[in-house]
Amino acid sequence: MELRSRNFKAGVTRSLANPHLRNALSNLRARMVSGRVASVAELDNFEQIRETAKQVRDDALRHLDFLLEEFERNAVARGARVHWAETPQDMNRIVLEIAQAAKVRKAIKSKSMLGEESGLNKYLQDAGVEVRETDLGEYIIEQSGDVPSHIIAPAIHRTKDEVSDLFQQRHGGPRKTDIAELTREAREKLRPHFLTADMGITGANFLIAETGTTMIVTNEGNGRMSTTMPRVHVAVAGIEKVLPTLEDVSFILRLLTRSATAQSISNYLSFTTGPKQPGDSDGPEEFHVVIVDSGRTRVLGSELRDALRCIRCGACMNHCPVYQNIGGHPYGWVYPGPIGSVLTPAYAGLENAPDLPNAATLCNQCGVVCPVKIPLPDLMRKLRERQFERKLRPWGERTGLRLWAWAAARPAVYAALTRIGVRLGRMLGGRDRLIRSLPGAGGGWTAERDLPAPSGKTFRELYAARKRD
């Protein structure tokens, strides 16, 4: 996916002016937030489970090298072919080589975040392989020439009305308004592709080391069709996705689906272990797993390591007050919201995403809902420190902060300056004690808000006067 994080502010302006987006996002807030609360309440020891889940993920990350080798051994023993890709480009090339070797003309794809990272669809299409997205959300995105705005619900920024219009325009025929009917219409369009595709491409929610299994969590059944119907199946997965045992996966799933969609379990869980075996009723003839580094090892050795625990549930964005108002597009890459504000700078470079770590109130709502306890605000703060050190923040901001700290560390200077400051503020406030407009950076505050004026004297002055009396 093309990186557009530099245009964050312009994207925000567009988002805030879009009434459709506002409607779509208010639904998200209503549904996802209250839904999760109810779903999590079904577990009487949720906090304990979270803590254990964190440890399970941390243990796996600590033994990544060992677990990946174990996975490869077991997957190969079951007839899968395992490929290793260092960069997103390597991954694209490997998938294309697999397609070419198997004479694949058409591929169906179920959602893969790595595929978004590497721009896999476009790469394959440019090389002459037709690719069809089969996830309903991804299908809407594909049909409208759009980009995803959420990791679980890629078309969350579209209202039902917009989808009705889009389908009518793309499919012809009468305009449908019922969600079930719209879904059926998309299914009918997709069915021929399922039957004619030579290759299925999926991501993987987890790799299970002890059995060499890849698994995906879906609600639409399209994933299962992608893993079983075409004669070749390719699963792409980041190295951080591996877990030791099936037991670990089933444990983590209790949190994943509840945090993601407020379900105690998703509609489908598809486990793939090797290609079709003698006696199997379905399954692909060839099964490939492409394991991708794409910056993960670097993050593993950095102060952002905790972010690799992420199980891609989307709860942090659903609960983020910023995301709830601007949607996913301004973040400008595959991962929006709080986790995106950490992963985008980590994978694509801090200099390419200057706003992301800063565009957060640090309210820590994300940190308290994250099922694997990633301290997202702390990680954003770390990135802010690196920005400050590398002088990636504007000169005025850095100087302002330095001046503030310089004065605040010198009580006498501070007293003299603030005496003047608060009196000036009091004057600016006028009769109703509201400052309506401030110059410079202060304009960021007063453009859409008044500033209640200071009362005219500092607490320290008044306190000293009281002591004298």
Partner 1 sequence: MRVGLFVTCLVDLMRPSIGFAALQLLEDAGCEVIVPTTQTCCGQPGYNSGDRAAAQVLARKVLGEFKECDYVVIPSGSCSGMIKTHYPELLSDVPQARAEVEWLIARTWELTDFLANVLKLERVPGTFSGTVTYHDACSGLREMGVKSQPRALLDKVPGLQLKEMSTPEQCCGFGGTFSVKYGDISARICDQKCDDVVATGADALVLGDLGCMLNIEGRLRRRGDMRTRVLHVAEVLAGSKPDGG
Nearer to partner 1, 128 or 444 (CB): 444
Count of C-beta atoms within a 10 Å radius of residue 469: 4
For the bound state, the minimum distance from the C-beta of residue 429 to ligand SF4, rounded and expressed in Å, comes to 42
Closer residue to partner 1, CB minimum distance, 88 or 425: 425
The least distance separating partner 1 from the CB of residue 43, rounded to whole angstroms, comes to: 20
**Within a 10 A sphere around the Cβ of 341, how many other Cβ atoms?**
32
Distance CA 103, CA 105 (A): 6
| Binding-site member from 96, 252, 374, 422 for ligand SF4 (CB under 6 A) | 374
Question: Interface with partner 1 includes 450 (CB under 8 A)?
Answer: yes
* Among the residue ranges 80-88, 291-299, 344-352, 395-403, the one whose residues contact partner 1 (CB under 8 A): 395-403
149 binds partner 1 (CB under 8 A): no
Stretches 64-72, 157-165, 263-271, 319-327: which one binds partner 1 (CB under 8 A)? 319-327
Q: Which of the choices partner 1, ligand SF4, none does residue 387 contact, using the CB cut-off of 5 to 8 A by kind? A: partner 1
**Residue choice 301, 459, 468, 469 for contact with partner 1 (CB under 8 A):** 459
Choose which of 312, 325, 352, 428 interacts with partner 1 (CB under 8 A): 325
The reply on whether position 78 binds partner 1 by CB under 8 A is no
Under rule CB under 6 A, which residues in 301-330 are in contact with ligand SF4? 310-316
Of 288 and 309, CB closest to ligand SF4:
309
Q: Two tokens at 161? A: 């009305």
Site string for partner 1, 97-136 (x = CB under 8 A): ----------------------------------------
Does 409 help bind partner 1 (rule: CB under 8 A)? Answer: yes
79 in Cβ contact with 275 (< 8 Å): yes
Q: Which residue(s) pair with 217 in the sheet?
A: 269
Decide which of ligand SF4, partner 1, none touches 221; Cβ closer than 5 to 8 Å per partner kind. Answer: none
Binding site for ligand SF4 (CB under 6 A): 259, 310-316, 339, 369-372, 374
Binding site for partner 1 (CB under 8 A): 12-13, 16, 321-322, 324-326, 358-365, 367-368, 378, 381, 383-389, 393, 397-398, 401-402, 404-409, 411, 414, 418, 421-422, 425, 433-434, 441-445, 447-460, 462-464
